[in-house]
Structure 1
Amino acid sequence: MRTFDYLHAEDVSAAIEAAAQPETKFLAGGTTLLDLMKLNVERPAHLVDITRLPGLNTIDVSTDVIRIGALAKMSKVAAHAGVIEAAPVLSESLWRAASAQLRNMASIGGNLMQRTRCMYFRDPGAYSNCNKRNPGSGCAAVEGVNRNHAVLGTSDACIAIYPGDFAVSLVAFDAKVIIRGSSERIIAVEEFFLLPGETPNLEHQLSPGEMIVGIEIPRVAALQRSHYLKVRDRASYEFAAASAAVGIELEEDGKTIRDVRIAVGGVATKPWRLRTVEDALRGKTLDEATLRTAAAAAVEGAKSSGHNAFKIELTPKVVARALMTVGDIA
């Protein structure tokens, strides 16, 4: 681990000013950053501790929107009664992630910023060829063991998955991230994450001297009837082989789909919205055959790298099962 300077910021302005220095990282829960520092993947010269910044750990559920501060703990949001009632998918995506100990430490803002679990990315001593860590060096995963890698949103430069769960649910429901730097800006979570293209080292739209201060999720009808399904190799403390965040709003007849929201995780280089599947389902009757037929489009454009081919078959099944669960026809 590289030697670093440490600053305990007293307010947001001080934290932002300090973070404008080169080679600086924010420290909140530290559940990802400290691991990567120990592996020499992250090598900041300066750490800015933001754990006690005032006003950033709030959770507010109003009639129109859910607002979550960036420093709210994963466990607190997952257990919040208002969140559970208004947005089951948000709660489920959080308590199905990581372990209880990590959820008690990890912040919501940090959860969005977590980096890939690609073993080639996380082992600079053994693999120098990682475009995400060392731009222009190549991608060891393409010809390596790539069972846990992406089949959607990939490029020749990178096939690493985005590992998180919560961001998948946020993307499904048009959530926005609030960013503060020299000024404040609000962007869609879906647009916050970047495709790898030829620059997989650029993962998001956060610039030096900026920090996430909160998240806003509009309360649409489909959010209340929502679900997060996570399929993985073991029942706990495991990343998704494939996951789906879904929500449905029905017409008054109780069987026609008025609105539907779908995003998938564990299979793409960023949280992946399935707008084609959504469009295919709106106005259709809610039944198993219709859901399975539409879900087949979930992997349009998917590309296998060998060991991860099973994800192309698995993903439509996960999407259909999640929709059947939330539609009470499972």
Structure 2
Amino acid sequence: MTATVTRLSTVDRLLPVWIGAAMAGGLLAGRLVPGLGDVLGAVTVDGISLPIALGLLMMMYPVLAKVRYDRLGTVTRDKRLLWTSLALNWIAGPALMFALAWLLLPDLPEYRTGLIIVGLARCIAMVIIWNDLACGDREAAAVLVALNSVFQVLMFGVLGWFYLAVLPGWLGLPQADLTVSGWQIAKSTLIFLGIPLLAGYLTRRFGERARGREWYETAFLPRVGPAALYGLLFTIVLLFALQGAQITDRPVDVARIALPLLAYFAIMWAGAYLLGTAAGLGYARTTTLAFTAAGNNFELAIAVAIATFGASSGQALAGVVGPLIEVPVLVGLVYVSLALRTRSSHDS
């Protein structure tokens, strides 16, 4: 592990410190600055605070500018990777979250519903950062995120209806309702994935055409690369400032919601990593498979919960607790991945 960490830049090596400070700073700001949440939520883009939307775009663009788009064909030809990812994201992930929510929150229906919504919202944003930090396959991440985006538009509402209304009825459990606009999800996908993806593609295409690949890789990318981390930290501060009062006012509820989330992230990541290893995908693509399976689109989950049940609902609180648990857990799994990479290289 030590050998792995020393290869990271100083900024990346201290990533848990920066993220912990950003989370703490956001929680304190939301608690101590009167009306801050109202200010941040005053202007929204597709149900997300405009400052948070800008942070997400700033976070995603540098990583997507690094993608070698001429290599995407090698990913789309890897049918094992594509089918395994689809099965993990759209069969295993929602089913696992449904089971954990009912097992660990049988007496808290609002939080249970919120967690099921989180399980349905597959990651299309921060997973790109985790994958890059863990030295996963950038091209594979771009393809899998795009694939998840298409399925999110098509399947989110259908699976929400199935897991909240149909399946509980079959099992003799209380039913809930979720009405989600497919156009709302499509807009979210176009904004938070489409814009940075198009910008990254055009930057590489015209940058290489104008100055060559060597300049683009060695001069341009090192200049814009740090913006991804700054965008990540900026987004975390704002997100936790926006919901800080809810989190700090209800610590016992947060702890109850955290337990199934911790189990979910650990099981999904470890299961996907083992599957990728067994399928012989290699370290980079196995890592990408694991992070795309474990991550969730908490921006969408929060927006849907607020739009459907209200900003002060238990469903919305469950969505807010999602990144509180996901961010530090997946940062930790970045370091686990890097340690596994070092070990596998030593073994070979």
TM-score (norm 2): 0.27
TM-score (norm 1): 0.28
State the structure with bigger RCO (CA 8 A, min sep 6), 1 or 2: 2
Structure with higher strand content: 1
Structure with higher helix content: 2
